[in-house]
Amino acid sequence: MYKDTAVFNLIHKELERQRNGIELIASENFTSLEVMKAMGTVPTNKYAEGYPGKRYYGGCEVVDEIEQLAIDRLKKIFNCSWANVQPHSGASANAAVFLAVMKPGEKFLGLDLSMGGHLTHGSPANFSGKTYHALHYGVTKEGIVDYEQLEAKARAEKPKMIICGASAYSRDWDYKRIRAVADEIGAVVFADIAHPAGLIASGLLNDPFDHCHIVSSTTHKTLRGPRGGIIMLRHDFENPWGLKDPKGNLRTMSSLLDLAVFPGSQGGPLEHVIAAKAVAFGEILSDDFKSYGKQVITNAQAMAKAFVGRGYNLISNGTDNHLMLIDLRNKNITGKKAQETLDKAHITLNKNAVPFDDKSPFVTSGIRVGVPAVTTRGMKEVDMEIVVNLIDKVLMNAHDEKLIESVKEEVKGFMKQFPLYPEL
């Protein structure tokens, strides 16, 4: 039997990298071993175009049960009437929402990428900005979503859809206010909760389902599942916008979204990943997960306080969720340099544009820092102080290779307190 030692040696090398480093990328987390086991199982062999009970292939009776279990668990998590668990990623989920709601060239309104938004919310480099007419709102000088600007643009431009959600925003959202202006102009409200979904699931942040027509998310990040996407509706409805399927028939919103995922934008679903989603959703329904969510927010706020105490400029001066965005201009180091230097010390985060940035997206003035992964590994508030001290030591001595090497060894020793996958 062929054994690919080259690939598996590299996989083991990546396991050791994860074990020995401090993972602070806000969009990353560590799944349970059960989630990983489910991903590496026989549903990967099964083609299953369509939906449970309505497949284009035979032999789908078991994967139908797997997918339906994932759907049922997800609906229970968010108290929803409908969910689609097939999107391969958050971007795929968002593409399907656009396909269901929008026609090419129609207007929508989203948070500007440079202000913390996401590529799929209208970046000119993305399908959302290329296919549709993207309009944007931003944040105030204090780093809070500029709801007055959002409302003014909505009333003036009358977009068909308003997106609320972000990839680098540390505060909660006023979904009720957004829905009010959307109702005034007859717009669809679409919430992309990819980042805070796990905290919303635990009841720790405002519930977008109370006010938003459509909600999408990834299944990794704070949901701590496999990499993938989902779309949900709290209440299905006969869409009031007269949206039609490709044959010109009026459909319910759930039907339009199902068609937009398959066959609109994807072929066969990844049933092994859906099995892993089902495992993760089962974990989310446990009491332990809510405790995890509370610790994520506690850790993030402890970390934010530690950064502020060392003179770092946090956008909005703090956080309500799992991440923070830091403007490094007063520290005389770019986001790119900070990321590259911290990498050498086995501390992983990402460079990120800050609101009103004067540097290019390839350099940036800031960094984005998140705590879901280190919280999964068991860190508490006191550990946040240690992590910030290590980051500060590296950034304030970015040209001292000897010091950085010593911090790398310190990080490796520190992380032994928080074992990762000891069974492997």
- The catalytic residue among 23, 28, 192, 258 is 192
C-alpha closest to that of 349 among 330, 366, 327, 332: 366
Q: Which two tokens stand for residue 260?
A: 């937009």
DSSP string, 361-373: TTT-SEEEEE-HH
What angle, rounded to 10 degrees, do the helices at 271-284 and 287-309 form?
80
Q: Which of 218, 219, 364, 376 is catalytic?
A: 218
Distance CA(417)–CA(406), nearest Å, equals 18
Q: Which is catalytic among the residues 179, 227, 368, 408?
A: 227
Residue of 19, 49, 294, 400 with catalytic role: 49
Distance in angstroms (rounded) separating the CA atoms of residues 348 and 32 = 20
**Rg, C-alpha atoms of the chain:** 22
8: Cα separation from own chain's centroid: 28
End-to-end CA distance of the chain: 23
Establish whether 227 is a catalytic residue: yes
CA distances from 379 to 150, 208, 291, 372, 417 (A): 38, 29, 13, 10, 9
Given 46, 55, 179, 221, the catalytic residue? 221
- In the DSSP assignment, the letter for residue 238 is B
55 is catalytic: no
| Long-range CB contacts (within 8 A, 24+) of 261-265 | 261/84, 261/86, 261/87, 261/92, 261/93, 261/96, 261/231, 262/49, 262/50, 262/51, 262/86, 263/49, 264/96, 264/99, 264/100, 265/92, 265/95, 265/96, 265/99
C-alpha angle with apex 90: 134 to 156, nearest 5 degrees? 20
Structure tokens, 346 = 């086995």
Neighbours of 144 (CB within 10 A): 16
* Alpha-carbon span 111 to 80, nearest angstrom: 26
DSSP summary character for residue 313: E
Q: 119-131 burial, b for 16+ CB within 10 Å, e for fewer?
A: bbbbbeebbbbeb
Q: Is 192 a catalytic residue?
A: yes
Tokens 């501390």 sit at which residue?
A: 347
Beta-strand pair 82-84/133-137: unpaired
* Amino acid identity at 163: I
Catalytic-residue membership of 221: yes
Active site amino acids = 47, 49, 192, 218, 221, 227
